[in-house]
Structure 1
Amino acid sequence: MTTLTLPSITLLLFLLPHLLSVSATAPASQSPSVIIVGAGMSGISAAKTLHDAGMKDILILEATSKVGGRMRKAEIGGNTVELGANWYQGGGPVPNPVLEIASKLNLRYTVTDTGNITANTYKQRGGLYPKEIVEEAHNASVGRTNFCSDFSETLNSDAVDEDDISILAAHRLLGKLPATPLERAVDYLNDELADGEPPQVTSLKNVYPRREGIDHGPVAHFVADPRGYEVVPQYLGKQFLSSLTNDPRLQFNKVVREISYTDSGVEVKTEDGSSYQAKFVIVSASIGVLQSDLIEFKPKLPMWKRLAIADFSMAVYSKIFLKFPYKFWPTGPGTEFSLYTHTQRGYYPVWQHLENEYPGSNMLMVTVTYNEAKRMEQLSDEEIQAEAMDVLRDMFGEHIPEPESMLTHRWWSDRFFKGSHSNWPHGYSQERHNKLGASVGPIYFTGEHIHKNYFGWVTGAYLAGIDTAKDLVKQLGKANRGVSDA
């Protein structure tokens, strides 16, 4: 028989309310109040917001085996790299909540510096361009950027209220279209690299001026932490879950395939044959997934909602990591980024050596987007490596070594994501975007794609999850008071 001493009894009395609280807030329920589809940044922030508002009877169904979504780390050459989300902004007038969380976690980062890229711009063949020629192209691109920002504000003013146009249309209005391979490469760097889609696709009215940089600052933090960027949503999850591995409110490898709904609730079915009932569901799947056939809604979502989903853009932003036995590229201040020009726009254009992030790693990263990224995904790893090496030989000579290893992720082909981040296409109105985030009966929607200013960013995903959860709490409050929106 075990005898409890007075200190033991005191400790038990102190812990008992906490233990009861954990038990009460972690039910293994097949019929929770709210089901959250997806444990990425928006799904986790929505779940935490519901929990903090007193709605603890929740269930998160995640298709993969971890928390994080498109924040995904991988290993190459003994270093942890980010296949998906990689940056967050700082130094601006509006506090960035992602930066604040990263600071709490002492997330390791470097500050990205593209400032000297005009000295590191390579011809398709024949070495470097003279810096002054690249600066001329760069200055012209900055002029287009400034014109786009000013003209976007004109379009958005109450006095004008004109329809949206593409970024390319604004360039035409200015009368200074990039024409040469060099000018197109610089244009790519300043527009398409950020948006994941070219100027003829992207909205001027809703993309310019770029709010993430204006609000949260121009300082680009490149995450290079062995724990991975995913530690940020995992940190949030630990604030309300007893564990990220055995809390029954978080279930992994649950691929949601069907959501049936009526005015009184939802039924969610997963690929493994499980079925769950709830009063509400929050869907945090990417816009790419919503445009695919992964999740079937029964009955079909109303036409206004389907149009809002179908008409938005899901960009593809793919990074390719190459590890070499030794460095054959310039290093030191002002060498981090290089630009490669090619007659085919977007052909392995932006290169970054990772010596600042992973000293001694002998790694390069090249980024491709849009149709080039989709084309690349159809190739084998060996074919991708061969293409990238042909470019590097154009840049640095024929006698460079073969890489020891290569790593990439096919975001467009991944059925759980169908792309890397959203982009606002031209002609897509604010009214339609409001419908993109609107609920349909008991089905609520969240994700970076529904945030008005920070779509495509981790910050947008975080804030969208909070906003969606607050909308649900607000509607529940109205229902409990018998208040109608009608």
Structure 2
Amino acid sequence: MELKGNDSGRRHGSSPSVIVIGGGISGVAAACFLHNAYFKVLLLESRDRLGGRIHTDNSFGCPVDMGASWLHGVCNENPLAPLIRRLGLTLYRTSGDDSVLYDHDLESCMLFDMDGHQVPHKIVAEVGDVFKKILDETEKVRNENSNDISVLQAISIVLDRHPELRQEGVSHEVLQWYICRMEAWFSADADTISLKTWDQEQVLTGGHGLMVQGYHPVIEALSKDIDIRLNHRVKAITDGYNKVMVTLEDGRNFVADAAIITVPIGVLKANLIEFKPELPDWKLSAIADLGVGNENKIALRFDTVFWPNVELLGIVAPTSYACGYFLNLHKATGHQVLVYMAAGRLAYDVEKLSDKEAANFVMRQLKKMFPDAPEPVQYLVSRWGTDPDSLGCYSYDLVGKPTDIYDKLRAPLGNLFFGGEAVCMDDHQGSVHGAYSAGIIAAEDCCQHLIKRLGSVQLVSSREEILKSIVPLKISRM
């Protein structure tokens, strides 16, 4: 597809050509769909690897997902289920359908205060019930207010109205920990999350499953036989009457009949890609109005397991910012790894530290719980907020923004189609299966557009049939 002189036309009778920009799961899924439909596909990825915000690191000698790591909705209705079944990948279920901790259940959680004392499970459960009541009451606040406010402001109003729901001492700190976990779900601070839409997302049934082997096998399977160019950073996209030209930062050009853009919303917000002609105001407004959260992981590998056999270890504190939690990969995968997760402002503050400083910060948290904890033998630190190829983790709804943002984001423009987690249908933003579905839908729309413009082409492939084989999902724990 590289433009050479004037040889940019489509040869008579050849397959339609599409350039997919972005090699995350949305882009890879779109490219896979088009390849199976016998389109000519080229995938351009700016990184030196595929996966985007999916990144399974194997430097510990075992898979550790430093980006996405859960399948949200362990059920056959999940669009990724057929592929996960076919690959024989194991899911470790960390929660059922309705957990106050979103992707974890309280039954395998242990909390400590700042002095290292374990918080009695009875208190943790009681405060969890209070937290649910507070969130239920915020719905009344929402119904009373025509203007949107933040979730944190709504919680403050609820506590003013219902002083019996206020918590003191360690119970207050546990309540802050619950807010910290809520902020982690949105990868944003509660004072920026929209009350109007915070609980409007659709969650598939079956609870939440950790990918035991990591997400890389999924990316690898989808990218098989695709023409992929790594280290190809796109700087400009020109949409002509019947062609799209994609320009790289080194000046090279690629031309195709259409393009599918799946780069992260953070990259679009930063205007790192120039569109010619310029995107219309309604599209630019949608990009500007959508929030982008940040969550980072600090993974620690140890020689020995010195922590209890629970899935989640947490530190409670007077503010949600000062709270913290560790995912115990040893319970889920058998590997001697703890993963600390920081969201919102804390995630950005962690990125200001060197890797060593970040690991030291996390170890100070860990030693509050386990004073004799040894130093890790290895550590890994993610930096999604300042990574120029992502500039954030995933999308969320800011306070006071229009509700039709997602429709405008996914709307095609001429020969340009849009994928990525931020544009998925049915309110599954921020999830891997949502990003996957958005890529498939963009590819379907692109196919129909090119069929209409260029004439009929073969869309059915026997390669798709293998994904439909009925094999049960492999689930541990529950």
| 2:474 matched residue in structure 1 | none
The correspondence of residues 116-131 of structure 1 with structure 2, limited to 5 A, is 116=106, 120-131=110-121
**Structure 1 residue aligned with 2:176, among 167, 179, 184?**
184
Task: Tell me the distance in 2 between the aligned counterparts of 1:469 and 1:99.
Answer: 19
| 1:424 matched residue in structure 2 | 397
Residues 1:127 and 1:366: Cα distance change in structure 2 (over 3 Å): same
Residues 1:187 and 1:62: Cα distance change in structure 2 (over 3 Å): same
**Structure 2 residue aligned with 1:255, among 216, 225, 233?**
233
Give the SS at the match of 2:223.
helix
Shift, 1:418, TM fit: 1.1
**Structure 2 residue aligned with 1:234, among 195, 198, 220?**
220
**Structure 2 residue aligned with 1:86, among 62, 69, 74?**
69
| 1:459 matched residue in structure 2 | 433
CA contact (8 A) 1:181 1:342 kept: yes
**Aligned partner of 1:201: which letter?**
T
Task: Tell me the distance in 2 between the aligned counterparts of 1:132 and 1:161.
Answer: 35
Residues 1:434 and 1:256: Cα distance change in structure 2 (over 3 Å): same
Shift, 1:192, TM fit: 1.1
CA contact (8 A) 1:178 1:187 kept: no
Task: Tell me the distance in 1 between the aligned counterparts of 2:452 and 2:82.
Answer: 33
CA contact (8 A) 1:166 1:203 kept: yes
Residues 1:478 and 1:165: Cα distance change in structure 2 (over 3 Å): farther
CA contact (8 A) 1:348 1:366 kept: no
**Structure 2 residue aligned with 1:69, among 49, 52, 68?**
52
Deviations 1:333-371 (A, max 9, x none): xx2212211334233611122212332x33211110111
**Aligned partner of 2:79: which letter?**
P
| 1:195 matched residue in structure 2 | 186
Task: Tell me the distance in 2 between the aligned counterparts of 1:84 and 1:108.
Answer: 18
Shift, 1:462, TM fit: 1.0
Residues 1:147 and 1:100: Cα distance change in structure 2 (over 3 Å): farther
Identity of aligned residues (%): 30
Residues 1:29 and 1:102: Cα distance change in structure 2 (over 3 Å): farther
Residues 1:168 and 1:283: Cα distance change in structure 2 (over 3 Å): same
The correspondence of residues 365-444 of structure 1 with structure 2, limited to 5 A, is 365-397=339-371, 399-444=372-417
| 1:104 matched residue in structure 2 | 86
Shift, 1:383, TM fit: 0.9
The correspondence of residues 288-303 of structure 1 with structure 2, limited to 5 A, is 288-303=266-281
Shift, 1:443, TM fit: 2.1
**Structure 2 residue aligned with 1:166, among 150, 154, 159?**
150
| 2:197 matched residue in structure 1 | 206
Task: Tell me the distance in 1 between the aligned counterparts of 2:191 and 2:62.
Answer: 37
Task: Tell me the distance in 1 between the aligned counterparts of 2:148 and 2:32.
Answer: 36
**Aligned partner of 1:311: which letter?**
D
CA contact (8 A) 2:179 2:320 kept: no
Residues 1:29 and 1:51: Cα distance change in structure 2 (over 3 Å): farther
Task: Tell me the distance in 1 between the aligned counterparts of 2:228 and 2:280.
Answer: 30
Task: Tell me the distance in 1 between the aligned counterparts of 2:81 and 2:145.
Answer: 35
The correspondence of residues 246-325 of structure 1 with structure 2, limited to 5 A, is 249-325=227-303
Residues 1:115 and 1:58: Cα distance change in structure 2 (over 3 Å): closer
Shift, 1:195, TM fit: 0.8
The correspondence of residues 461-476 of structure 1 with structure 2, limited to 5 A, is 461-476=435-450
CA contact (8 A) 1:83 1:409 kept: yes
Task: Tell me the distance in 1 between the aligned counterparts of 2:410 and 2:433.
Answer: 16
CA contact (8 A) 1:76 1:323 kept: no
CA contact (8 A) 2:23 2:43 kept: yes
Shift, 1:126, TM fit: 4.0
Residues 1:329 and 1:282: Cα distance change in structure 2 (over 3 Å): same
CA contact (8 A) 1:118 1:135 kept: no
| 1:57 matched residue in structure 2 | 40
- CA RMSD in angstroms, aligned pairs only: 2.7
Task: Tell me the distance in 1 between the aligned counterparts of 2:300 and 2:454.
Answer: 57
Which has the higher Rg, Structure 1 or Structure 2? 1
Could you tell me the TM-score, scaled by structure 1's length? 0.81
Task: Tell me the distance in 2 between the aligned counterparts of 1:384 and 1:237.
Answer: 34
CA contact (8 A) 1:348 1:391 kept: no
**Aligned partner of 2:433: which letter?**
T
CA contact (8 A) 2:176 2:323 kept: no
Residues 1:119 and 1:358: Cα distance change in structure 2 (over 3 Å): closer
Unpaired runs of at least 5, structure 2: 9-15, 96-103, 456-478
**Structure 1 residue aligned with 2:328, among 328, 353, 361?**
353
**Aligned partner of 2:418: which letter?**
F
Unpaired runs of at least 5, structure 1: 1-26, 482-486
Task: Tell me the distance in 1 between the aligned counterparts of 2:256 and 2:208.
Answer: 41
Task: Tell me the distance in 2 between the aligned counterparts of 1:205 and 1:51.
Answer: 40
**Aligned partner of 2:231: which letter?**
N
Task: Tell me the distance in 2 between the aligned counterparts of 1:141 and 1:441.
Answer: 47
Task: Tell me the distance in 1 between the aligned counterparts of 2:2 and 2:248.
Answer: 17
Residues 1:29 and 1:409: Cα distance change in structure 2 (over 3 Å): same
Shift, 1:166, TM fit: 3.2
Task: Tell me the distance in 2 between the aligned counterparts of 1:449 and 1:178.
Answer: 36
Residues 1:236 and 1:317: Cα distance change in structure 2 (over 3 Å): same
Deviations 1:265-308 (A, max 9, x none): 32211123311122321110000111124212233322221111
**Aligned partner of 2:133: which letter?**
G
1:340 is the counterpart of 2:315: yes
Of stretches 229-238 and 372-381 in structure 1, the one that deviates more from structure 2 is 229-238
Give the SS at the match of 2:433.
helix
Shift, 1:178, TM fit: 6.6
Deviations 1:137-187 (A, max 9, x none): 211112234455x669x86xxxx9955443334434544687633211122
Residues 1:259 and 1:357: Cα distance change in structure 2 (over 3 Å): same
Shift, 1:35, TM fit: 1.1
**Aligned partner of 1:99: which letter?**
A
CA contact (8 A) 1:450 1:464 kept: yes
CA contact (8 A) 2:265 2:422 kept: yes
**Aligned partner of 1:273: which letter?**
G
